[in-house]
Amino acid sequence: MLKPNPEAVPEAPLPDPKRAKGPYRPFSCDPGWDEAWWWLGIPVAMAAFILASAGFAPDFYMQWVLPEGYGFLEVGHFLVPLAAAIIALRLLFKPFMRGRPVTFAFVLFAAVACIYIAGEEHSWGQHFFYWNTPEYWAAVNRQAETNLHNVYTWLNHQPRAVLQAGIFIGGLLVPLAAWFFPFVRRNRWSLFLPAAALVPAALGWLFFRGVSQWNKVYGETLVQRPSESVETFMYLFLLFYMIVFARRIAELEGEARVSSNG
């Protein structure tokens, strides 16, 4: 599932939005089982850590894992999307990108979105430096913080809904479709489709979404504030996506160099 078919049209070019005619071959750089330590190991370890600490060390969980601003999960909500933003910003400076306006616009949007997420998660530094929220802003912000998502609901719920829909479709449905229909990985726009290696992060997101619903429906608290765990896996998905995307761009660049030298 994680490795492309080595017999699939080896002479065909890679999927490139700039290249209108196929056939195409799938990307060979997508992570395989030899790299399972990060695309599988990190989500599994993260889920195990959250469940174990919440279930067996609830005091530790409440004091060090969950707290707003400095808790393990909250710090990750800043660092993980920030890392994804750095990857996206570095891609923007590649000459290869400037010749592909659609790809450039997509990566620019990804960079801005990841910066927005990282900034909003820590109120643009307030959780680190503890400045006071100006009175006029505290009056309109429901948590008296210097962020936007607690002022305008459409800057919170709508972007979150779009991201979660993307994780469900791209992280679960696309890999499932590609399993049965390999041409999914060999079309002009395959550059943008999440790799199968992102399935564990998507499953982690789905699992903690289920935990959140369980808490609401049955009134049982399996994990305190599971929404924080949901966000953790959302942002892991973003980071893993940008890692794979950058690798694909590097593979396309390598193909272009080979073609020009040939």
Residue from 119, 116, 102, 114 nearest 240 by CA: 114
d(C-alpha 12, C-alpha 15), whole Å = 9
CA 112 to centroid of chain Cα atoms: 13
The answer to whether position 139 is within a domain reads no
Q: Which is more confidently placed, 143 or 231?
A: 231
Position 144 pLDDT exceeds 70 = no
In a domain, 133, yes or no: no
Measuring CA to CA, which residue among 184, 163, 175 is closest to residue 84? 163
Lowest mean pLDDT, pick from 112-116, 146-150, 235-239, 258-262: 146-150
Q: Quick check: helix, strand or coil at residue 229?
A: helix
Q: DSSP character for 167?
A: H
pLDDT digits (tens, 9 = 90+) for 23-70: 999 999 999 999 999 999 999 999 999 999 999 999 999 999 998 878
- Confirm whether 38 is domain-assigned: no
Range of the domain at 165: 54-121+156-256
Q: How many CB atoms lie within 10 A of CB 57?
A: 13
Rounded to an integer, what distance in angstroms lies between the CA atom of residue 192 and that of residue 222? 36
Count how many domains the chain has: 1
By CB neighbour count within 10 A (0-12 exposed, 13-18 middle, 19+ buried), where does 94 fall?
middle
Residue 106 in domain: yes
| In-domain check, residue 144 | no
Contact between 113 and 83 (Cβ < 8 Å)? no
Q: Is residue 101 situated within a structural domain?
A: yes
* Closest to 84 measured CA to CA, from 245, 239, 233: 239
Q: Is the preceding omega at residue 175 within 30 degrees of 0, hence cis? A: no
Residue 236 included in any domain: yes
How high is the pLDDT of residue 8? 44
Question: Residue 145 domain-assigned?
Answer: no
**Distance (Å, rounded) from C-alpha 38 to C-alpha 36?**
5
Helix (H, G, I), strand (E, B) or coil at 94: coil
